Chains A and B, each alone.
Chain A
Amino acid sequence: MKLWQYILRRILLMIPLLIGITLITFSISHLAPGDPARLAAGIHAPEETVEVLRQKLGLDKPVYVQYFLYMTRLLKGDFGTSIMTRRPVIQDIMVRWPGTIELTTAAMLIVIIFGIPLGIFSAANEGKPLDHASRIISLLGVSMPSFWLILIVLLIFCKYLGLFPIGYRIDPTIDLQKITGFHIVDSMLTLNFNALFSSIWHIILPAFVLGFQGQATVQRLLRSKMLESLTHDYVKMARAKGLSERAVVYKHALRNSLIPVVTMLALMYGGMLGGTFIIESLFSWQGLGRYGSRAVLQLDFPAIMGVTIMYTMIFALVNLIVDVLYAYLDPRIMY
């Protein structure tokens, strides 16, 4: 099978997956206690208003009809109205999603830039003190709760050292023309270097914290896989052919070890999406995570489900990209 055929097949498989996702989200929202019509109308609304609302939302119809209505609404982009902002959820999402994507992408970059070289370095220097040191640090990184790390980081870097700003994606006094919603991209497009600098400065700390655990995981996995690869026969063969140690490690062992790491990166992205709930709240970052965590506290179900669906679709897209990357790296998977 050629690569493009594999890609096509994977894309087609997304369709039943998306349907399944809506099924699950529907079931979850159905599980929620409380009367949705009452919640939407408000505690003080009179009974007749609630009844009218109930009929309008189709809540008196059988389950499968409700699901059908739910699906049609989703396809039109209608995620319901948020109880806390009183605006259509889809609007709330559209305003906030660039912030989250920018953050998770930056965090992913941190994971790749730090995790992969450190993992290789650790494996190549196995047993030496530097290896032990980086193993300990990465071990701590995986065992630490991220929200606790943030508090410590905020205390040290923001309060005591005053190095980084707390809150917001960009200095609110800077004027930035909005093209894509991604501050970094927009500031580059409009050559607004003030804005570019400010948005990068604001993103560094939250991205670092979000990516720290991921970077530690990648480091550990890569080190483990590299050490394992180096015991394989094809490495022995590469040495018997007189190749330099550099070629043996980077060309032969690394190629094989990166494959499981790439899969892990997809998973990590999912973890990061979950992490945005915490990070965005603590950094006052305008994104879906902060919106979602407030929604959870207030049990605002339309908002909660909207965020869930949005995050899951992003996750599905990332998984697709990673699967394709994996097929490129390991041609065996297509057979």
Chain B
Amino acid sequence: MNALDVALRVKGLEVNFYTYAGVVKALDGISFEVHHGEIFGLVGETGCGKSVTVASILRLVEKPGRIIGGEILFEGVDLLKKPEKEMRKIRGSEITIVFQDPMTYLNPVLRIGDQLAETIREHQDLIGEALEIDRIKHQKPTAKKPSKKGLKEVALRRAQKALEMVKMPNPETVIEQYPHELSGGMRQRVMIAMAISCNPSLLILDEATTFLDVTIQRQILELIKDLKHDLGCTLMIITHDMGIIAEMCDRMAVMYAGTIVECADTKKIFSTPIHPYTIGLLNAIPQPLEEMKELKPLPGSVPGLINPPSGCRFHPRCPDAKEVCSEVKPELRAVEEGHLVACHLKN
């Protein structure tokens, strides 16, 4: 794969959380690649480190967490080495995130239009359009600098356009409303509108449909597919729902307890999963159209990450574990073209 085709490359990312109970080794040197224009899925149980990964990409890891090692290459440039000022330019414009719960992620005392417009004002060049408005509408034909009113109007116009792109009914009304006046699905559309308003090249969805009804979920996923097609951006979907991955993603990675265990094309993973954890995950999905069988959940539970299992973090629950599994951490290696697995037995 050509270096130019890689939008995001995460290499050996390590993140620790320094808490009262001890040091939580949340991310243990994870690596994966997201290619230009694809839909990439990151799947794993709650607590496996998916959200920490997302936060790390934007350098928004909150105390007591800290990124202690690795590289995050976005369009070839290591984000971890960039000064904060430049990171701010990237956040919200080139890399944007849609979070899980629009009720808490939207400011309850500010209007929707305001919250959309502030991103636009921050990242986009509104001067030209604002001057035009001043000259024509406000009768200031010789204005050189745009007025505040003009800038505000342009930003709101673009905000409304963004709402139209996410198929929001009555965008002119919504602009004036507050978050609590909208339904859950509408709020999530607002979040998506905020994310696409500045033409991102990488759009990340962090459990974006988890809190929605199944029918709304469907609508939102369709909307996202259309938007990606229209905008030509790269999409990264974080979720614990295998169904969404199966439906939407071209390539995917499976995370477990702060490590990536398998990474390949979605079809490949669903048809021939290699890592024992992936196999266990897929086996645990009930198959309504097949004969009635017993549910096969994975035995045991996710380990605490203050004292994670030595070597391979999955070995205590792995049916095929050998001695080497508890001693040495397995590397993520290509088992065949484009299919990477981190397992001693399958390498």
Interface residues of A (CB under 8 A from B): 232-234, 236-244, 247, 251-252, 255-256, 259, 329-332, 335
Contacts and interface: CB of A to CB of B under 8 A. Distances in A.
A240 B92 contact: yes
A239 B110 contact: no
Interface in B24-61: 58, 60
B104 A233 contact: yes
12 contacts: A237-B99, A241-B91, A241-B119, A241-B194, A242-B87, A242-B91, A242-B119, A243-B122, A244-B122, A247-B118, A252-B107, A331-B178
Binding site of A, secondary structure by majority: helix, strand, loop or mixed? Answer: helix
B123 A242 contact: yes
A239 B105 contact: no
Nearest to B204: A240
Contacts of B178: 331-332
B89 A332 contact: no
B104 A331 contact: no
A285 B158 CA distance: 59
A335 B107 contact: no
B75 to A, nearest CB: 17
Contacts of B93: 242
Contact of A335 (B91, B101, B180): B180
Interface string B72-92: 000000000000000111111
A2 to B, nearest CB: 13
Counting from the closest, the 8 A-B pairs by CB-CB distance are: A241-B92, A242-B92, A242-B91, A233-B104, A234-B107, A237-B105, A242-B88, A241-B119
A238 B194 CA distance: 11
A331 B181 CA distance: 10
B236 interface: no
Interface of B: 58, 60, 62, 87-93, 96-97, 99, 101, 104-110, 118-119, 122-123, 178, 180, 194
Given A233-B105, A240-B60, 15 more contacts: A232-B104, A237-B106, A237-B107, A239-B91, A240-B58, A240-B97, A242-B87, A242-B88, A242-B90, A243-B119, A244-B122, A251-B110, A256-B109, A329-B109, A332-B108
Contact of B106 (A234, A247, A330): A234
Nearest to A231: B62
A329 B106 CA distance: 16
B139 to A, nearest CB: 31
Contacts of A251: 110, 118
A241 B60 contact: no
A62 B300 CA distance: 80
Contacts of A232: 104
Contact of B60 (A236, A244, A256, A330): A236
A233 B88 CA distance: 18
A236 B105 contact: yes
B118 A243 contact: yes
A329 B110 CA distance: 9
A9 B109 CA distance: 22
A239 B92 CA distance: 9
Contacts of A241: 91-92, 96, 118-119, 122, 194
B101 A233 contact: yes
B85 to A, nearest CB: 9
Nearest to A235: B107
A123 to B, nearest CB: 15
A256 B110 CA distance: 9
B122 A259 contact: no
A88 to B, nearest CB: 48
B122 A255 contact: no
Contacts of A335: 180
B118 A234 contact: no
B108 A256 contact: yes
Nearest to B108: A332
A244 B109 contact: no
B118 A233 contact: no
A130 to B, nearest CB: 20
Of B90, B107, B123, most A-chain CB atoms within 10 Å: B107
Contacts of B96: 240-241
B109 A331 contact: yes
Nearest to B87: A242
Nearest to A331: B178
Contacts of B107: 234, 237-238, 252, 255-256
B38 to A, nearest CB: 22
B192 to A, nearest CB: 13
B106 A244 contact: no
B99 A233 contact: yes
A332 B106 CA distance: 14
Contacts of A256: 107-109
A307 to B, nearest CB: 39
A240 B104 contact: no
